[in-house]
């Protein structure tokens, strides 16, 4: 197992622990809102008063707190700078093939549109492998689905952006999520390391409230 795979496995383990604690915390907060005359589990109770109180708490407290924390994470990112290592220009991955991305872009997907306006596909995986071999190896070890590799033709041979002043938003914003995998050479690597626990907590909270909302929505349709 290479270092990146070990890091990814470590991250998964950390996430499982954080997720468990978040689930316990949210279950406790749901229970605190239980109406006096209602017994049993929240999802089985089907009590509309309780449901409303929980949904209000999700939206007005938990989702708001997550939003604030995420804004703080992004604001802190401004303390760090790109050091032009060029890895993200030279190797972008997507679970979508060029044809799938084109279709998504035609259907109004803004990210797919921007992505295709910047990146072109590598001729072969081995070409991409030369850029960041550890990353490709980690994907081979961990990813079950197909991954497609892209690069930007505006990167010069000396690894400089030939259109830096006009680079699109997608380049200016990268990395916009501390949970993405970044090379150690990236100027934002330290930012990612520092904010990762809070980002994992936000992510777990979001996943859990989405789970409850989906269950409530399904049971109201039954
Ligand atoms: S446009 Fe410039 S900054 Fe953006 S990916 Fe291409 S080389 Fe990198
Ligand atoms: S990987 Fe990070 S440091 Fe390297 S070019 Fe991209 S944003 Fe800049």
143: confidence class by pLDDT, cuts 50, 70, 90: low
**Other C-beta atoms within 10 Å of 70: how many?**
18
Q: Whole-prediction pTM value?
A: 0.83
Q: How many domains does the chain have?
A: 2
Give the distance (Å) from ligand 2 centre to CA of residue 85.
5
The residue whose C-alpha atom lies closest to atom 2 belonging to ligand 2 is: 186
pLDDT tens-digit readout, 88-107 = 999 998 999 999 999 999 99
**Beta-carbon neighbour count of residue 149 at 10 Å?**
24
What confidence score (pLDDT) does residue 181 get?
82
Same domain assignment for residues 107 and 141:
yes
Q: Is the pLDDT of residue 145 over 80?
A: no
Tell which atom from ligand 2 comes closest to the C-alpha of 182: 1
Q: Is 91 in the pocket of ligand 2 (CB under 6 A)?
A: no
73 and 157 share a domain?
no
Question: For 154-182, what is each residue's pLDDT tens digit?
Answer: 999 998 999 999 999 999 999 999 998 88
**Residue 144 pLDDT:** 66
Share of residues in the chain with pLDDT > 70 (%)? 97
Query: Which of 167, 187, 192 to mutate for ligand 2's pocket (most ligand atoms within 8 Å of CB)?
Result: 187
CA distances from 142 to 8, 19, 94 (A): 9, 20, 15
Q: What CA–CA distance (Å, rounded) separates 51 from 213? A: 10
Q: What is the mean pLDDT of the chain?
A: 92
Q: Which residue, by CA, sits nearest to atom 3 of ligand 2?
A: 186
Q: Which domain holds residue 165?
A: 87-183
Beta-ladder partners of 93: 149
Does the residue 190 lie in any domain? no
Please indicate, yes or no, whether residues 59 and 94 belong to a single structural domain of this protein: no
Work out the angle at residue 80's Cα, subtended by the Cα atoms of residues 158 and 84, and round it to the nearest 5 degrees: 5
Q: What is the pLDDT of residues 1-41, one digit of tens each?
A: 567 777 778 888 999 999 999 999 999 999 999 999 999 99
């Amino acid at each position: 197992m290479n270092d990146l795979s070990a890091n990814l496995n470590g991250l998964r383990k950390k996430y499982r622990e954080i997720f468990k604690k978040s689930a316990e915390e949210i279950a406790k907060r749901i229970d605190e809102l239980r109406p006096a005359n209602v017994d049993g589990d929240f999802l089985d109770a089907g009590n509309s008063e309780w449901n409303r109180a929980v949904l209000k708490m999700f939206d007005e407290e938990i989702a708001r707190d997550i939003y604030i924390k995420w804004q703080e994470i992004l604001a802190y990112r401004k303390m760090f700078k790109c050091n032009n290592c060029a890895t993200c220009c030279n190797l972008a991955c997507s679970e979508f093939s060029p044809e799938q991305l084109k279709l998504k872009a035609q259907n109004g997907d803004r990210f797919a549109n921007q992505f295709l306006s910047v990146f072109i596909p590598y001729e072969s995986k081995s070409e991409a492998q030369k850029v960041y071999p550890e990353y490709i190896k980690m994907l081979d070890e961990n990813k079950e689905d197909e991954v497609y590799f892209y690069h930007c033709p505006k990167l010069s041979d000396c690894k400089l952006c030939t259109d830096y002043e006009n680079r699109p938003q997608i380049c200016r914003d990268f990395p916009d999520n501390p949970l993405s995998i970044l090379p150690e050479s990236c100027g934002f690597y330290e930012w990612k390391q520092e904010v990762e626990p809070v980002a994992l907590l936000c992510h777990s909270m979001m996943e859990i409230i989405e789970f409850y909302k989906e269950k409530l929505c399904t049971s109201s349709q039954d």
